[in-house]
A and B are shown apart, each in its own frame.
Chain A
Amino acid sequence: MPASTVHAIVERHRGNSMLSAPYLSPAASGPRDLSTDQPIAPIDPAVAAAVTQALLDGQTHYVDVPGIGPLREALVAHLEGLGAKGYAVASTAVTAGIQESRFLSLQVVGEGFDDVAIPAVVHPGARQAIGLRAKTVHTIPVDTVGGMLPTLDGLRQVLDAGCKLVYLESPVRFTGATFDGAAVQQIADMLTAADAYAIWDQGLSPWAGDDYVSLGASAGMAERATLIGEAFPGSGLESLGIGYLATSEARFAGVAKIKQVMAICTSTPSQFAALAASERFGARRSDLRASLASARSSAVRAAGDASLQVVDGDTVHILALGTGNTASASTLARALADGGFGFAAGDAFGAPGFVRLTASSADSLAAALDTLR
């Protein structure tokens, strides 16, 4: 018989639907894994060599809680490349991956906010992070035709209802859709008018078009928007767990405090890998974007030929597909699974009836679509 305290703990957590949101486990391995958020790329040998050298040089000890200085500088430079203004190195933290960024932003930056608004279609990691300490959750409806982006009217309604903290993804993790510049400015204006705060997951932004606009690029948002994402995606770092969180000076002290409490620091091999990757990121990203863009175009055509609904998206690596109903979606999922392809099920994101395929190479999407013909 289990001890009753243990039983009570287990039951308390089982009743927490947010915490129990499905985790996107790695679905497969190798070129048939199309389940990931980011394209999986091999690590540059020069990055591996740089990490090894750092370890041999003694970088095996505790480092600064918010991350090593050069990496934080590289991350801020990356944010500035996206147009973000006013985010300082001193208030930017290296994290152990995007999920830690979600946790720190929602539970630490978000401390003091009893309510949070999230899109109806959102990465399950956001729900899990919210579930760790109770908040009242408001749902922002999404445009099911337009890439499942949260509607601006829906955002306005939750703000008018008094919610002061919103969590937004752009690109949307499930579809790759992005808010355009005008929408981003409207969001910034709404936040300012409502004296509200945003957490902006821009982790997929390297795969969006050159016209991508970060919320951090709008005037005044450095004080209102915390930016999170993976560090230099597409560099082969996905399994090393390395991300970022950039926020205002006022909110950073709390982040650093809890980062110390929960981890002391981020793994040094991961940090030095990200630092080395940052030096090669621009060229690598360009090459990968070009090849994935071409592959996606072909895949969209193939999906149309297979009578599959292609959801609008702006990133070169994500293809969200639907069939119009959940029964057919199950058939779709089964076909992919039988073909040995990992994929992300829409149910996990709040989009039943859809699946997401993430391309890591020009061939991987084509092979999956062949299975679906």
Chain B
Amino acid sequence: MAENTKAKRGTDILYSLIAEARGYSDVIILGRGDPDFDTPANIIEAGRKTLEERAGEPAPSAGILPLRKAIAERVKRVNGIDVDPETEVVITNGGQEALFLMVIATVGPGDEVIIPEPNYNTYKDAIAFAGGVSVGVSTDPKQAFRVDPERIREAVTPRTKALLLVSPNNPAASVISRDDQMALLRIAEEHDLVIIADDIYDLLTYDGHEHTSPASLPGGKARTLTLNALSKTYAMTGWRAGWIIGPADLMVEVRKHKEGVSGGCSIVTQYAALEALTGPQEAMEEMRSTYVRRRQVVLEILDAMKLPYGEPQGGQFVFVDIATTGMSSLDLSQKILTEQHVLAYPGGAFSESMNNFLRMTFLQPEEKLREGLTKMKRVMDEVLA
């Protein structure tokens, strides 16, 4: 059954599950990382005003300067990274385009990129597009999917050009500690590697775990490109609002790649993003508080069901261990979807070594989370019986 996962590309598996899920009117979506909240009203209002008053304003390739300034302020405040908004910030069509651009701007044919596993499928796709080679480094569920610097070091070869770090991790929800980030940066310095950092869940950490951006560490900024976006924290997935920050010399090339790939981003999205970052933050804070509550609810239910999981240190999901079922994650997620109309993502779609896990989000109201988990357990109990 694991062959199914290997034969099909991970993203294709997920999209085919999404397509099937659409056919069920009572489906409970615990799969996709798309917040169930709509974008806050003040941000929509900013979009409306832009449409009515400044839709004709040109959209420069790096993005409008007010937004770049707001991003510079944000990354200083939240991540402790100093960037020049004129030269070290580029606005992108969401975190996804940021990820794509960071990879194609840095990775060349034959270059190896070390990526801790499990990881979001798109990284491997982007690296393949650039002609690079993804080198996966496993993480141990028993160690909360910790990115072990020594395992990373062992994976370095003369062809290694970059280290891709995602923290909090998708799908494992682990957070790289500050000490480990320091150790990883030392490895990058020793071997002169670029760090490609995905910070998209940086504001969503729990139980005392704190996010550390590699670029905030001494010596980190000069070799690190960092992405972030407003999709997850401001419920703006459809708007496509993201950014890349990095050292000025590398950002010249990032901007050139942005020009070649898509040019300037939508002016409506940019002014909406500006409002998101500089306007009232209550809605964002309330969403964040809700995720904290929902996470607790999910963990309590999983504990009561005696379903083990990786400690969700950050992000918007839990990586649930389904090894006791004896089924592959693809087969189990398919069964749960078809029989109970609940969509959770198979861990095997993120990494072949994670076929014993399901990724489930807590991006639904509490009652839906309870209902969805109850239905999942029903299927798993039937399998175990």
Give me the interface of A with B, judged by CB distance under 8 Å. Answer: 2-7, 9-10, 12-13, 19-20, 23, 25-26, 29, 33, 40-43, 45, 47-48, 51-52, 55-56, 58-63, 65, 95-100, 103, 125, 128-129, 131-133, 236-242, 257-258, 260-270, 273
Contacts and interface: CB of A to CB of B under 8 A. Distances in A.
A40 B129 CA distance: 35
A98 B261 CA distance: 10
A241 B263 CA distance: 8
A264 B58 CA distance: 24
A343 to B, nearest CB: 14
Nearest to A9: B106
B256 A20 contact: yes
A132 B238 contact: no
B56 A239 contact: yes
Contacts of A47: 51
A128 B258 CA distance: 10
Nearest to B39: A60
B122 A261 contact: yes
B260 A25 contact: no
Interface stretch (B203-211, B246-254, B316-324): B246-254
B385 to A, nearest CB: 37
Interface stretch (B96-104, B299-307, B342-350, B366-374): B96-104
A48 B48 contact: yes
Contacts, number: 220
A62 B238 contact: yes
Interface stretch (B134-142, B266-274, B326-334, B376-384): B266-274
A203 to B, nearest CB: 13
Given A19-B260, A103-B262, A239 B55 contact: yes
21 contacts: A3-B189, A3-B222, A6-B222, A6-B223, A9-B108, A23-B263, A51-B47, A51-B268, A55-B47, A61-B38, A99-B263, A236-B55, A239-B267, A240-B267, A241-B59, A241-B93, A260-B122, A263-B96, A263-B240, A264-B240, A269-B268
A262 B222 contact: no
Given A47-B51, A48-B48, A55-B44, 17 more contacts: A9-B194, A13-B256, A23-B256, A40-B56, A51-B47, A60-B39, A96-B266, A97-B263, A103-B261, A125-B259, A128-B256, A129-B261, A239-B57, A266-B93, A266-B240, A267-B93, A267-B266
Contacts of A10: 249-250, 252-253
Contacts of B34: 61-62
B94 interface: yes
A248 B269 CA distance: 31
Contacts of A98: 263
A5 B161 contact: yes
Contact of B238 (A7, A19, A63, A131): A63
Interface in B10-67: 11, 15, 32, 34, 38-39, 44, 47-48, 51-52, 55-61
A322 B333 CA distance: 65
A261 B104 CA distance: 12
Contact of B100 (A58, A261, A266): A261
Interface of B: 9, 11, 15, 32, 34, 38-39, 44, 47-48, 51-52, 55-61, 93-94, 96-97, 100, 104-106, 108, 122, 125-126, 129-131, 161, 189, 192-194, 222-223, 235-240, 247, 249-250, 252-253, 256-257, 259-269, 272
A257 B192 CA distance: 32
Nearest to B11: A260
Given A9-B253, A63-B238, A273-B51, A133 B131 contact: yes
Contacts of A7: 249
A241 B261 CA distance: 12
Given A96-B262, A261-B129, A19 B256 contact: yes
Nearest to A57: B38
For the complex of A and B, 8 pairs with smallest distance between CB atoms: A26-B58, A268-B238, A128-B260, A48-B51, A99-B263, A239-B267, A60-B39, A100-B262
A52 B51 contact: yes
A240 to B, nearest CB: 5
Given A13-B256, A258-B129, A60 B236 contact: yes
Contacts of B44: 52, 55-56, 60
B31 to A, nearest CB: 12
B250 A100 contact: no
A269 B49 CA distance: 13
Nearest to B238: A268
Contacts of B51: 43, 47-48, 51-52, 269, 273
Nearest to B255: A23
Residue from A19, A33, A42, A59 whose CB has the most chain B CB atoms within 10 Å: A19
Nearest to B267: A239
Contacts of A273: 51, 268
A239 B93 contact: no
Contacts of A55: 39, 44, 47-48
Given A56-B44, A261-B100, A3 B59 contact: no
A96 B93 contact: yes
Contacts of B96: 261-264
Contact of B105 (A2, A13, A65, A129): A13
A261 B126 contact: yes
B229 to A, nearest CB: 11
Contact of A61 (B55, B126, B161, B238): B238
A100 B261 contact: yes
Nearest to A256: B15
Given A51-B47, A269-B266, A2 B222 contact: yes
Given A43-B51, A261-B125, A132 B261 contact: yes
